[in-house]
Chain A
Amino acid sequence: MLETALKGNKGYYRWMAAIVAVIGVGFACYLWQLKDGLGITGMSRDVSWGFYIAQFTFLVGVAASAVMLVIPYYLHNYKAFGKIAILGEFLAVASVSMCLMFILADLGQPMRALNMILHPTPGSVLFWDMIVLNGYLFLNIVIGWKVLEAERNEVMVAGWVKPLIYLSVPWAVSIHTVTAFLYCGLPGRGFWLTAILAPRFLASAFAAGPSLLILLCLLIRKITNFDPGREQIQSLAKIVTYAIIMNVFFFLCEVFVVFYSGIPEHMDHFKYLFVGLHGHGVLVPWMWTSMGLMALAILLLVNPATRKDESVLVVACICVFVGTWIDKGLGMISGGFVPNPLHHVNEYVPTTPEIVIAIGIYATGIFILSVLFKIVVTVKEEVSA
């Protein structure tokens, strides 16, 4: 099937060439980082994880959200999703690939990355994160590929794929749970030290992933002959609605516990993010924007009249995606590091090369996604023709 990704119209080639150019620029910056060290980023002794790990965290969520298509289709026999489940799985493949690249970009000694396997340490959450992420990548490649191949050949999917599909359901939950455990098991980091972190991560994931998928579906409908379907998009919209409400609810639970208990080590991080601490508050406008976007999205999504209007739905989905991205991709990581354990406030702002490297990784993800979606669309067009 891979050959279908090689043949496309002019627009497709131009698009891929543009992405490759962006990847090239990002890679050049990465070579610079490899030579000079992580000093070219904005990270510091106090904020020792930054933009890379934040993007990783956000994208793990996007990857996990494929399960929101798999569960209705395979467990509840909701046939409509049969048409687009493959899009969710391939989106997961692209997202997990980006996650792994972001982790690699964040390592001070990337050449030694395989020490994780050479000296396996089951006590470390990062060890498990490596296992679940790679496992999830493998599962989605195999499942997506076999299902699509069967659809192309108009045969039943091989029997051994089914158990893998069922396995992928808890596995999807595990990738984001383990990722949350990276943070919430650390003593002395009050912002993350909360049992609701994993549920909160999952809720925001199930909002961000499907909202991106809706946007991708609408795009596919516009530029190809394959229509993912109105019913499918509306069902996804309902999933986004529930998930974004859950996300905001979990967040408010957190706010209650933190501020009603009044424990400074937990409060200070929230204060830093939302009102600033000791005169430092670079993220304050971002965090309020995020809250505003999520609130607006809920209004647009809860109301059936606006949700069913696809042009409004686009706005709502963009709000959800950007809102959750700011929350996780900007606030979640540096918010946990400021103030530092000695209660000094040293802020973090990513540098230009750091952002360019991140854009390069996103471009690589988009490249993978474009190839996979091109294959899907070609197969779907073939089958319907």
Chain B
Amino acid sequence: MMQSSRRNFLKIAGLSAVGISGAKPVLDAFAAEGHGDERTEFEIRKNEKALTAQQWGMVIDTRKFESAADLEPLIEACHSLHNVPHIDENKVRHEVKWIWEDEYKHVFPTLAGKFVDERTEHLPFLALCNHCENPPCVRACPTKATFKREDGIVLMDFHRCIGCRFCMAACPYGSRSFNFKDPRPFIKERNPEFPTRMKGVVEKCNFCAERLAVGKKPACVEASNGAIAFGDMNDPESEVRELLKSNYTIRRKKGLGTEPAVYYIV
């Protein structure tokens, strides 16, 4: 009895000592050793309902939006779900946002010309993390606190972030926010299903990784009444690829080679 518990404990200690990236061999080594009729090994697995892809991507059909009021529910859905603080004082300086709206000339500063058709000129566009195929923020991060997951999502590990803000300098889309102060007092209604952040870490859109893990599409997609499509960019049969085949789309600052995974139909 004592023997077995000590062994199990060693498993845990060994795993954390080796660090997770190097944990596989340790796991395998312990798997080989059996005792009694119990399972000899613990298992870590994905939820079977989890949605998977090689490169998640998004197509925003801006034709289906008319005004800022149409975008408001999407932004609200995201921000309330993820406990994004709403900072009024010092708004410009300390604002935290995952998805927001801005004018064409700001979301697409390299595309906006002198003369733009009236609808485009006044239409608010959604801006969010592009989950680039080639993300400069991931390159910059000195601790791998921001990293690209197997399914293409560029994620933040808030436990590891040291708050150097190199990723913010690296992001050409202004998609990242920094917690200049404790965000909790600025969260109107806290969603107990999702953690908040602490001061001193960077945050941004996570393509609703926590929802994909249980088989749900991102909150903004769900709230968009079909105006935003979400799917695997590497699957030619996917809804997003179908849309890209049949529509002219644009991406933000395509010329920088970051390969954004968020497309806009205009």
Contact = CB atoms under 8 A, between A and B. Distances in A.
Decide if A and B touch, CB cutoff 8 A: yes
A336 B105 CA distance: 20
Given A36-B181, A126-B166, A344-B106, A109 B201 contact: yes
Contacts of A341: 109, 171-174, 253
Interface residues of B, number: 50
Contacts of A126: 140, 142, 164, 166
Interface in B84-123: 90, 92-96, 102, 105-107, 109-110
A119 interface: yes
A37 B168 contact: no
Interface stretch (A139-147, A182-190, A324-332): A182-190
A112 B160 contact: yes
A187 B161 contact: no
A189 B143 CA distance: 22
Contacts of B201: 108-109
Contacts of A124: 139-142, 166
A346 interface: yes
Contact of A44 (B94, B161, B166, B253): B94
Interface of chain A, main secondary structure: loop
Nearest to B145: A115
Contacts of A45: 92-96, 168, 174, 177-178
Given A107-B163, A108-B162, A124-B140, A38 B200 contact: yes
Contacts, number: 149
B15 interface: no
Contacts of B110: 265
Given A108-B162, A109-B163, A124-B141, A48 B136 contact: no
Interface in A105-143: 106-110, 112-113, 115-116, 118-119, 121, 123-127, 130
B174 A39 contact: no
B109 A343 contact: yes
A116 B161 CA distance: 10
A189 B172 contact: yes
A346 B91 CA distance: 11
B11 interface: no
Contacts of B90: 39
A250 interface: no
B199 interface: yes
Contact of B169 (A36, A113, A130, A189): A189
A342 interface: yes
Which of B164, B172, B173, B198 has the most A CB atoms < 10 Å from its CB? B164
B199 A48 contact: no
A346 B95 CA distance: 12
B142 A343 contact: no
A43 interface: yes
Nearest to A341: B174
18 contacts: A38-B163, A38-B180, A39-B90, A45-B94, A45-B178, A46-B92, A48-B165, A108-B162, A112-B143, A116-B142, A121-B141, A121-B142, A121-B144, A127-B142, A186-B172, A188-B171, A188-B172, A342-B127
Interface of B: 90, 92-96, 102, 105-107, 109-110, 127, 136, 139-145, 160-166, 168-174, 177-182, 198-202, 253, 256-258
